[in-house]
Amino acid sequence: MRRIYIILLLMLACRPTTLLAENETGYLPSIAIGQRGVAKQGRTVELKMSVDLSKAKIRTQHTVALTPVLVSADGNREIAFPPIVIDGKTRHKVYLRAQRLESVELPPYHNDSAKVIIRHSSKNQQYDYAATAPYQRWMLDGRVEIREQVHGCTNCGEGKSEQNLLDGVLPTYIPDYRLHTIAPEPEPVKVRAETRTARLQFRQDSYKILPGFKNNRAELDTVSNSIDLVKKNSDVKIIGIYITGYASPEGSEAHNLTLSENRAKALADYIRRHDAISPDMLHVDWKGEDWEGLVRVLDDFPNLLKRDEVYEIIECYPDRRDYCELQLQKLVPPTIYRRLLNEIYPALRRNEYRIEYNVRNFNLEEARRMVHERPDLLSLSEMYKVAGSYGKGTPEYDRVMAIAVRYFPASPAALNENAVNAISRKEYGKAVQLLEKSEVTAQSAELLTTLGVAYAGAGQYEKAEDALRRASEMGSEAARHNLEEMLQVMDQL
């Protein structure tokens, strides 16, 4: 008897729907949704809205499910929030009876976790909705759609529609990073230098220069030509020539110190006489045996037998060089020392000379030409003027600034300007590489700030945080601001 009663009730509830079977039914246009918003709280996204059913005339036998869906900006991903389920009066009675009678199928969306609202016809009715979902980065700049499904008395679908509810939810945070501007270091007097090496050949234990001996003529001509090129340049004026003598380790340390002194003085005397350089412009120094140079030259002989043992001997006796040389002579087989004596030691016997000169200042037109012909003669300020004449952001500006950092690699101004230029082009890796390899960066709050922004742009947030904190501790307000901005970016990851 009970089963017959339920069937009759269902048939009665279905009568109006049958009349509308050929037409899809939808209520979404008559449902007002206000006070809508999506907010991120930690690792959770919360959707809130107010649903006003006052104008919705929902048929008594219908169930309306409104499902909010958060969709990614590209439309490829989405997540549905719990639906709002609205029952007509008769439909809700069926639902309640179905709950009691487990043999009867529950209407769609009427599960245990569903919030079911009974629509009271012709009455003002509002519902405040709130739901959460786990935050994922793809949600940034997404949209919220609301999707409607209408079901009739026999759980058949009678209509569906969708409506865009919110655009641009959870907007990606765009950080407002601040970067320092560093003025180029002044250079009232431009002093430049050219350093070269003269490998003159001397007879054993002699320091007399013989122009016709072995390759000496070519070496002496190179020295004279180097000096002559500077003397003939009307833009510069020689202010000093500095000569340093070096010797190889064979023989006693004291003897070789004297030998390097006399050979350096011999070259200075030759320059004074041959190149007409005033004696007060010649400065002589001597270093004796060049053990550091020996280590460097050994790197070019990877096939030298027992090379590691040679390195070890050199390292073990830094204050007993005569004893060190003796241990090298005792290496077995003897061909090791012969190779040192004949192939490696000759490169250590030399005079290094440095020509120092003052450079006049150039006007803009001259500097524009010199930046390509002789950039080494320009000051950093002159290079900045040339770059500025082309306009920041132009390829010519970038080229000149790249030349500036090449010739002034320890200049905070040149380093910072080139790094900032790279950041402006989103070439974060280039800015990182430039600042990481410079020893100047760690001592400059401004450069650390720029490095932190470059790290952040490259997605290296741990390194960015470290650089910005160090810059902040050194007093950079920009670094403190940038750290706060970056933390907001990290919060959206």
For 210-238, write each residue's pLDDT tens digit.
999 999 999 999 999 999 999 999 999 99
- Say yes or no to pLDDT of 458 above 60: yes
Domain ranges of the chain: 2-169, 190-357, 362-491
SS3 assignment, position 55 = coil
pLDDT in the model for residue 88 = 86
- Say yes or no to pLDDT of 149 above 60: yes
Superfamily of domain 2-169: C2 domain (2.60.40.150)
Residue of 91, 50, 85 lying closest to 64 (CA atoms): 85
Place 19 in a pLDDT band, splitting at 50, 70 and 90. Answer: very low
Place 7 in a pLDDT band, splitting at 50, 70 and 90. Answer: very low
Q: Which residues pair with 32 in a beta bridge?
A: 52
Q: State the residue for tokens 């004279």.
A: 224
Q: Which CATH architecture has domain 190-357?
A: 2-Layer Sandwich (3.30)
In the chain, % of residues over pLDDT 90: 80
How many angstroms separate the CA atoms of 370 and 378, rounded?
Answer: 7
Place 252 in a pLDDT band, splitting at 50, 70 and 90. Answer: very high
H helices present in 55-204, as ranges: 89-100
CATH number belonging to the domain at 362-491, selected among 2.60.40.1930, 3.90.45.10, 1.25.40.10, 1.10.10.970: 1.25.40.10
Place 107 in a pLDDT band, splitting at 50, 70 and 90. Answer: low
Question: Quick one: which H or E segment has residue 354?
Answer: strand 350-359
With 0-12 / 13-18 / 19 or more C-beta atoms within 10 angstroms meaning exposed / middle / buried, residue 299 is exposed
How many angstroms separate the CA atoms of 84 and 65, rounded?
Answer: 6
SS3 assignment, position 478 = helix
- Evaluate whether 207 touches 336 at the Cβ level (below 8 Å): no
Token code pair at residue 337: 């020392």
pLDDT in the model for residue 163 = 92
Place 115 in a pLDDT band, splitting at 50, 70 and 90. Answer: confident
Provide the mean pLDDT of the chain.
90
Select the more confidently predicted residue: 453 or 26.
453
How many angstroms separate the CA atoms of 448 and 165, rounded?
Answer: 45
- Say yes or no to pLDDT of 11 above 80: no
